[in-house]
Amino acid sequence: MIRLWLKGTVTARWRHLLAAGAGIACATALIGLIGVFGISSARTMTSRALSAVPVDWQVALVPGANPGELTKKLRDAAPVRAVATIGYADTVALSSKTRESTQTTGSGQVLGLPPDYQLLFPGQIRPLLGASSGVLLAQQTAANLHATVGSIVTVASVGAAPFDVTVAGIIDLPNADALFQVIGPQRGASPTAPPDNVIMLPDPIWRTHFGEAARLAGGGARLQLHVGLDHARLPAAPDVAFATTTGMAKNFEVRAAGEAVVGDNISARLDAVRQDALLARILLLFLGLPGAVLALLLTISVVRADSVRRRHDFALLSLRGAGAAQVVSLVAVETMVVSLLAVSFGVAASIALSRLALHVDVGIYGTAAWLSVTAFAAIAVSSLAVIGPVVADLRQSSVSGRRMWLPIEHAASWERGKLDIVLLLLAALIYWRSASTGYQLVLAPEGVASTAVDYTAFLAPLLFWLGAGLVTIRLGRALLRRAGSWLPKMLSPLSGRLSTLTSSSLIRQRSRLASGMALIAIAASFAVATTVFNSTYRSQQLVDARLTTGADVAVTGTTAIPAGAALSRISTITGVLAAEPMQHRFAYVGKDLQDLFGIDPVRITNATDIVDGYFSNIGAREALARLSRQRDGILVSQETVNDFQLAIGDLLNLRMRAADGSEKTVAFHLVGVVKEFPTAPRDSFLVANARYVADQTGANQEETVLIRADGSTAVLAQRIRESLGTSPPLKVTDISQAAHLIGSSLTAVDLATLGAVELGFAALFVAMATGLILWLGQSERTKSNAILLSLGASRREVRSFIWSETLIVAGIGLPAGALIGVIDAWMLVRLLSGVFDPPPDYLNFPLGSLSFMFVGAIAAVALSVLAQSAWTKDGIARELRS
Amino acid sequence: MIATHSQAIAAQATRIVRIVDGRIIAADVLAATDGVPKVNRSIREQRDGAILVAAHDLSRSFASGDRSFRAISSVDFSIRAGQSIALVGRSGSGKSTLLNLMAGLVDADQPGSMSWPGFDESRPLRPQQIAMVFQAPSLIPALSVIENVRLPLELAGSNSVDFLDPMQVMHSLSISDLAEKLPDQLSGGQMQRVAIARALVTRPKLLLADEPTGQLDRATAHEVVGALLKAVAAIGATLVVATHDQAVAVEMEEQWTIERGRLAVSPNERDAA
């Protein structure tokens, strides 16, 4: 019987099975794809973060501790890839003799390195000149000593006789801050600066001179174990990896209590990116889940669209004695077959799109597991989505009831309970709660392993979306119920003399039509929200990059060699739309040394965008106008305002370096609060009038030039580099470089490809919602169309019936969807303020993509009408006999 | 226990229980519905006898998988104004296909031909020319009864003075009280009466009825046939009824028997005889 049922179903209802399968496959593909992207982007964030850490742990040994035993304990506590024992010794001075004179430095550090250190920890030392092994001298120290390869340097250490070494190579220490960090409890509140003078010796030489001192407390020498962990064995997600590495470090410290303390570089780095990773997860949830919900709603709608015919089937089965259990079992088998096939297609599409569009390897454990879970969940949920409406059909009280073509209109339970209103109110409440906490969705306190993610905030746009969909049903039905007076007139140009009857028919079918409107509305709103959000995200990515670079292209110099000196030359380069100089000085606010940017508030916007999001409580135009009006005005960062309890109008006396090198106090008045500014650091900085700063300090040089490009920024940057030559150390950067360099920022997660894929899905959903739902209704309308033709109606007259329905459903559904989508996108952008740096001033509407979506929907509508109009005479005769 | 409206099947049973209006009765109710009114001869005699539809070597095949079968095979006939014809034959003999060919709903195979000299040849199936009544309920489910009946008027242009008043037609078929109901709320017999009312409201010259009583019990079938004949007689339309029910067939002036797609006795031959 099951085989017979399946055969009959495939033959008679292949269209519905195909459509239901398409919905399930789309949901599976979208969820699978977004999950794979999420896992891979988290993995990318983790690996990008870890690649910036040359040494994962620096284990400081107490004097007398055995490095061999501690290495064993390390290997027990963590997946260790490499361990090296490094000696650190204090030196009171380094000196070097040249022909003319003897150069002597201040205190410094003497490191003892094993021969394979650079092999084990690449990136810690960057050879600049000469050999990469032997005695290595840091670049700054070499400059201080006027030493080069072959020079003899005398090391004067604490508690040991001075000794001479011959320099084999000059090196750079890009990771000096971590290399010379104070491990364990620190003296003082501020971090210790790396030493000015560093020399590195081969391990045997270091042991000869400092080996004994390292065994004694206060001997001026100590040992560290530099540890590299096996990153492949760390979890992919930064937050989980952070918890793991922190736990392992603590575990080791417990094992080595009293012998060693861990300087946990890897956890510190992961700590910095895990908040971004959590935001990324939320972002993907925001983008993915509505799509999956929509695909399931489409599937349910497809199943429901077949309900009339199915009710007839059930009525026949019931008449022939089949019980409800038998009917459900038949449908269950049908569902399982469709689900399995559709989910297989969906997973295959996920894999193909992941590989081809996102270039992600789906073979790795995390993604494979995700796809498996997605597949099982999709089968379970889609089975429920199909069987649910069928069971609802079976609950119809009688066989005759199941045969009803036009179900008796009654308010659904959600309508009676005003669920739509409740959902909208809940959405507003949750949104208000998130807004009141400053849209703080992710809480990852620095150094604390546990994190808190406010996933409930996501409910605001989701509930609004669903509530608005239900409101569309309510309003659509109410609108059609009262359409008797205006609908015939509206349809008159299309239906002619049939407009009154067409209107009556549409008004009676208002429940079905309102559901269609709502489905189209939520599909269109998903498309609009996704498109607008992705576009806003992309444009904000540019703003972020521009914020980091300062402008499309920036030329940065120093006070000694200011970029402003090259302004006239830069301005004449082809592709420069505008170039404006900017001072970059430093000023003491109390004891804090802060960056100070001197600008021309009237002209700066020629070269770069100054947006409202950069300022607190005032717009960009007003902030710059205040600065322009008040010569000694100053914009102060929020952090400084908080720290020093400042208010608008307050006098600020800043200590600055004058042109003659002396320190001078300059008086400013606070005119506004600034949160972000081109090239400025994220915490504390100041923005003032460049002319005032120049007048007060006597130094009128401008260290930076900001450039607005006409065309490719990378090409222009290269042209500027060529024009400036290599002799002056002016650094030229452009926004395309910055976009790649922002490693810790979430906006570094490249949503462009995922956005394009999502746009494709959104277009597909809109097309499915509009075209498919109308097309699927054909099975109900075929008979009516055949009757009309048998009554002598022309094809044009029958088509006018179809067009009327289509125009009503799509004509109300699409604009409603656009409105819901814009509100949803606005809500998403506001809720995800934390993702943006700075938050955008306004939504970005990509007219091209939106037009593509709109034209796609119209094309789907037209195709569905054409498909319904493609009847044959034989088909009509067959339909009339059925 | 067998539920049926077929007297032949009922005759095989040891006990017959009749149900009328949901109540079991002992009496034979058929007697009450016998005596269907004959077509009004005087009106028929006023007809000019012009040919409305003619077929020459008419054939029609249908594909079924990779095979094809002939539903109608080399049929010749003509139908004149005023005739009432019963097209009699077993299920699958080709009755419905022949009616569809007469209506122009399906096309004939070449080289045979179908012509409608009495109508606009380019589109014979128009409300005021040919109307059809089908075996299966054929009402638009989203339109009320009165709207269904008015539908052909709207399609034809309701300003014509020749058309009948829908309410009067419905009244004559005893369904005027159903005007505002939806098809879902009607019984099978009521639906067929509405379909007949809809077919007649534009005064078609030719009415084609395909097993109009096929899904009705005998008592209701007689009522429907009676109503159909009465209404047809009233407007003077030509009537072709496809049926396998002899009781219906005998009410027509002529009976054409169709077997395996061929007319057993060619109307033309018979005319010649």
pLDDT digits (tens, 9 = 90+) for A257-315: 888 899 999 988 888 777 777 777 777 777 777 887 887 787 777 766 666 666 677 77
Q: Would an 8 Å CB–CB cutoff place A797 in contact with chain B?
A: yes
User: Three-class SS string for B181-243?
Assistant: CCHHHCCHHHHHHHHHHHHHCCCCCEEEEECCCCCCCHHHHHHHHHHHHHHHHHHCCEEEEEE
Cα distance between the two ends of chain A: 23
Contacts of B140 in chain A (CB under 8 A): 505, 784, 787-788
Give the Å distances, CA to CA, from A814 to A179, A525, A703, A765. Answer: 60, 8, 53, 13
A191 secondary structure, DSSP code? P
Q: CA A565 to CA A703: how far, in whole Å?
A: 9
Q: What's the ipTM?
A: 0.78
Whether residue A34 lies inside any domain: the answer is no
Record: contact B105-A509, CB cut-off 8 A: no
* pLDDT > 60? residue B271: no
Q: Mutate which of A402, A501, A783 to test chain B, going by most B C-beta atoms within 10 A?
A: A501
Q: CA A171 to CA A870: how far, in whole Å?
A: 78
Q: Would an 8 Å CB–CB cutoff place A868 in contact with chain B?
A: no
pLDDT of residue A112: 93
* pLDDT > 50? residue A357: yes
> Tokens 């075996």 sit at which residue?
B135
- Residues A755, A757, A759, A764: what is their CA dihedral angle, to the nearest 10 degrees? -160
Q: Nearest-CA residue of chain A relative to B62?
A: A874
For A413, the token pair is 């339970």
Better pLDDT: A704 or A101: A704
Give start and end residues of each alpha helix (H) in A157-264.
176-179, 203-214, 238-255
Beta bridge partners of A663: A657
Give how far B268 is from chain A: nearest CA, Å.
27
A525, A817 contact by CB (below 8 A): yes
B160, B204 contact by CB (below 8 A): no
A733: Cβ–Cβ under 8 A, 6 or more apart, which residues? Answer: A549, A553, A554, A556, A717
* pLDDT > 60? residue B195: yes
Q: pLDDT tens digit string along A597-631?
A: 999 999 999 999 888 888 888 889 999 999 999 99
Contacts of A497 in chain B (CB under 8 A): 154, 157-158
* Candidates A509, A793, A876; nearest CB to B155: A793
- Sheet strands (E) in A63-193: 80-97, 102-104, 108-113, 126-130, 136-138, 152-157, 163-166, 169-172
Whether residue A418 lies inside any domain: the answer is no
Record: contact A497-B62, CB cut-off 8 A: no
Q: CA A359 to CA A752: how far, in whole Å?
A: 13
Element (H, E) at A321: none
Whether residue A255 lies inside any domain: the answer is no
The residue among B83, B81, B79 whose CA lies nearest residue B102 is B79
Record: contact B106-A793, CB cut-off 8 A: no
Contacts of B103 in chain A (CB under 8 A): 790
As a whole number, the mean pLDDT across chain A is 82
A218: Cβ–Cβ under 8 A, 6 or more apart, which residues? Answer: none
For B186, the token pair is 């009607």
Q: pLDDT tens digit string along A323-337?
A: 777 777 777 787 888
Give how far B273 is from chain A: nearest CA, Å.
35
Q: Mutate which of B69, B184, B186 to test chain A, going by most A C-beta atoms within 10 A?
A: B184
The residue among B137, B213, B135, B127 whose CA lies nearest residue B182 is B137
* Candidates B62, B136, B143; nearest CB to A881: B136
Q: Would an 8 Å CB–CB cutoff place A876 in contact with chain B?
A: yes
Q: pLDDT tens digit string along A152-204?
A: 999 987 767 888 999 999 888 878 888 888 887 655 444 456 787 899 999 99
For A609, the token pair is 């965008």
Residue A207 domain boundaries: 81-229
* Candidates B136, B138, B143; nearest CB to A501: B143
Contacts of A882 in chain B (CB under 8 A): 136
Contacts of A500 in chain B (CB under 8 A): 154
Beta bridge partners of B217: none
A259, A60 contact by CB (below 8 A): no
A577 and A505 share one domain: no
Q: CA A334 to CA A773: how far, in whole Å?
A: 21
CB neighbours of residue A711 within 10 Å? 11
A524 and A572 share one domain: no
A706 and A786 share one domain: no
A104: Cβ–Cβ under 8 A, 6 or more apart, which residues? Answer: A93, A94, A95
Number of A/B CB contacts below 8 angstroms equals: 93
Q: pLDDT tens digit string along A524-538?
A: 998 898 888 888 887
Least confident of A294-308, A417-431, B188-202: A294-308
Beta bridge partners of A672: A635
pLDDT of residue A752: 65
A644 and A612 share one domain: yes
For A845, the token pair is 């509407």
Average of pLDDT values for B173-194? 87
A698: left (phi over 0), alpha (psi -120 to 50) or beta: left
Give the DSSP per-residue string, chain B: ----S-HHHHTTSS---EEETTEEESS-THHHH--PPPP-HHHHHTS---EEEEEEEEEEEEEETTEEEEEEEEEEEEEETT-EEEEE--TTSSHHHHHHHHHTSSPPPSS-EEE-TTS-TT----TTTEEEE-SS----TTS-HHHHHHHHHHHH-TT-TTSPPHHHHHHHTT-GGGTT--GGGS-HHHHHHHHHHHHHTT--SEEEEESTTTTS-HHHHHHHHHHHHHHHHHHT-EEEEEES-HHHHTTSSEEEEEETTEESS-HHHHHH-
B159: Cβ–Cβ under 8 A, 6 or more apart, which residues? Answer: none
Q: Would an 8 Å CB–CB cutoff place A793 in contact with chain B?
A: yes
Cα angle for residues A712, A716, A718 (degrees, 5° grid):
120
R_g (Cα) of chain A, nearest Å: 35
Q: Would an 8 Å CB–CB cutoff place B138 in contact with chain A?
A: yes
* pLDDT > 70? residue B265: no
A358, A753 contact by CB (below 8 A): yes
A211, A63 contact by CB (below 8 A): no
A123, A54 contact by CB (below 8 A): yes
Average of pLDDT values for A430-456? 70
Q: Nearest-CA residue of chain A relative to B131?
A: A791
Burial class for A92, CB neighbours closer than 10 Å (0-12, 13-18, 19+): middle
Average of pLDDT values for A489-504? 86
Contacts of A406 in chain B (CB under 8 A): 141-142, 182, 184
Give the Å distances, CA to CA, from A564 to A557, A558, A703, A706, B267. Answer: 8, 10, 6, 10, 109
Give how far B157 is from chain A: nearest CA, Å.
8
Record: contact A787-B139, CB cut-off 8 A: yes
A134 secondary structure, DSSP code? S
Burial class for B49, CB neighbours closer than 10 Å (0-12, 13-18, 19+): exposed
Averaging pLDDT over each range in A293-302, A600-609, A796-805, B18-27, which range is the top one?
A600-609
A520, A809 contact by CB (below 8 A): yes
Q: How many domains does chain A have?
A: 3
* pLDDT > 90? residue A692: yes
* pLDDT > 50? residue B39: no
Q: CA A729 to CA A555: how far, in whole Å?
A: 10
Average of pLDDT values for A41-70? 85
Record: contact B126-A874, CB cut-off 8 A: no
Name the amino acid, one letter, at A52.
A
Record: contact A880-B105, CB cut-off 8 A: yes
Q: Mutate which of B105, B107, B180, B208 to test chain A, going by most A C-beta atoms within 10 A?
A: B105
A644 and A750 share one domain: no
* pLDDT > 50? residue B43: no
Record: contact B138-A787, CB cut-off 8 A: yes
Q: pLDDT tens digit string along A224-254?
A: 999 999 988 888 788 888 889 999 999 998 9
Record: contact B154-A880, CB cut-off 8 A: no
Residue-range domain boundaries for chain B: 32-272
Q: CA B208 to CA B127: how far, in whole Å?
A: 12
A537 and A562 share one domain: no
Q: Mutate which of B155, B163, B181 to test chain A, going by most A C-beta atoms within 10 A?
A: B155
pLDDT of residue B214: 75
Whether residue A450 lies inside any domain: the answer is no
* Candidates B105, B107, B140; nearest CB to A784: B140
Whether residue A109 lies inside any domain: the answer is yes
A286, A461 contact by CB (below 8 A): yes
Last residue of a domain, one of A229, A245, A264: A229
Whether residue A238 lies inside any domain: the answer is no
Q: CA A23 to CA A27: how far, in whole Å?
A: 6
Better pLDDT: B188 or B99: B99
Which CATH number does B32-272 carry? 3.40.50.300
Name the amino acid, one letter, at A377.
A
Q: Would an 8 Å CB–CB cutoff place B198 in contact with chain A?
A: yes
CB neighbours of residue A203 within 10 Å? 18
A510 and A612 share one domain: no
Better pLDDT: B42 or B119: B119
The residue among A77, A28, A763 whose CA lies nearest residue A372 is A28
Strand A553-556 vs strand A731-734: parallel, antiparallel, or unpaired? antiparallel
* Candidates A498, A509, A794; nearest CB to B142: A509
A481 and A585 share one domain: no
pTM, entire model: 0.71
* Candidates A792, A876, A881; nearest CB to B127: A792
Record: contact A797-B155, CB cut-off 8 A: yes
Give how far B96 is from chain A: nearest CA, Å.
8
* pLDDT > 90? residue A820: yes
Q: Would an 8 Å CB–CB cutoff place A873 in contact with chain B?
A: yes
* Candidates B138, B142, B143; nearest CB to A880: B138
* pLDDT > 90? residue B246: no
Q: Would an 8 Å CB–CB cutoff place B105 in contact with chain A?
A: yes
* Candidates A404, A498, A877; nearest CB to B154: A498
Q: CA A263 to CA A516: how far, in whole Å?
A: 61
A575 and A718 share one domain: yes
Give how far B130 is from chain A: nearest CA, Å.
8
Q: CA A279 to CA A285: how far, in whole Å?
A: 10
Burial class for A376, CB neighbours closer than 10 Å (0-12, 13-18, 19+): exposed
Q: Would an 8 Å CB–CB cutoff place A508 in contact with chain B?
A: yes
B261, B73 contact by CB (below 8 A): yes
Q: CA A330 to CA A387: how far, in whole Å?
A: 10
* pLDDT > 70? residue B11: no
Record: contact A497-B130, CB cut-off 8 A: no
Name the amino acid, one letter, at A393.
D
Contacts of B97 in chain A (CB under 8 A): 877
Record: contact A792-B138, CB cut-off 8 A: no
Give how far B8 is from chain A: nearest CA, Å.
23
Better pLDDT: A395 or A20: A20
pLDDT of residue A832: 77
Burial A444-463 (b: 16+ CB within 10 A, else e): beeeebebebbeebbbbbbb
Percentage of chain A with pLDDT > 70?
87
* Candidates A508, A789, A797; nearest CB to B142: A508
Give the Å distances, CA to CA, from A503 to A183, A517, A861. Answer: 81, 16, 20
Record: contact B141-A874, CB cut-off 8 A: no
Give how far B272 is from chain A: nearest CA, Å.
33
Give how far B265 is from chain A: nearest CA, Å.
26
